[in-house]
Amino acid sequence: MLEGDQPDPPGLDGDTVWRRLCVSAARAVPISGAGVALMTATGHGGTLAATDGPAAVMENLQQTLGEGPCLNAFRDRRPVLEHDLARAAARWPGFAPAAAESGIAAVFAFPLQVGAIRLGVLDLSRDVPGPLDSLQLAEALDHAAAATTMLLDLQYDVSSGGLHPQVAEAADSHREIHQATGIITVQASAGLNEALLLLRARAYAEGRPIHELAADVVARRVTFRAEDDHHE
């Protein structure tokens, strides 16, 4: 059941399947926050939904820094169960301290995959350290399986022949990051990897979601030229 008698967690206005999934996960496991992210071969592909506060910060940090539990879960094709984030600084030197600062003490990431097909990650977090017990882990895996099925069902909107609207927004933000990276390669005379690092570093330094900074780069409101790097 995706709906019940408990109040919804904050920050999930708008009735989408991703909202209902995050609400259900937050009630069933229990956890402090939940997020669902698209993933691509190059990393975090955009956030489909996240509860307010630390969970939203967690998704933004992973997309901005290019490290974190969702990247490992997707790459290794298995859950990442870090019940004490304070001990994970060596594993994620940028993500772990920043996430802990936002109030996250434990993170659990579950890849959304079917066979060789990899689609995304379900991220769960707690504000206190501690592992999931066997029943909680089973609930989390059930929600990851449900998210996988929903992603497969929503990959293509049969009415338009393109991505379903509940998937397209996250995919579009990832596409904008790629466009911005290409622009930066020209402006900064850098390779693609270096350009992406420049974009991530600036987003992190300014405390901005990387997709917002990417939109400014594409719109030419922000440049990465050495002689005139400024907001217009």
Q: Which domains are seen in the chain, by residue range?
A: 17-154 (3.30.450.40), 165-218 (1.10.10)
Interval 17-29 mean pLDDT: 83
Query: Confidence band (pLDDT; 50, 70, 90) for 129?
Result: very high
Q: Quote the mean pLDDT of the chain.
A: 80
pLDDT at 91: 96
* CA 121/CA 110 separation, integer angstroms: 5
Q: Which of 21-35, 70-84, 165-179, 188-202 has the lowest mean pLDDT?
A: 165-179
Q: Which two tokens stand for residue 205?
A: 């330094």
Query: Confidence band (pLDDT; 50, 70, 90) for 159?
Result: low
CB-count exposure of residue 11 (10 Å: 0-12, 13-18, 19+):
middle
Crossing angle for the helix pair 192-206 and 210-218, to the nearest 10 degrees: 120
Q: Taking every pair of C-alpha atoms in the chain, what is the biggest distance, in angstroms?
A: 58
Interval 132-137 mean pLDDT: 93
CA distances to 62, 123, 172, 219 from 167, in Å: 19, 17, 9, 23
* CA 89/CA 72 separation, integer angstroms: 14
Which DSSP symbol is given to 155? Answer: S
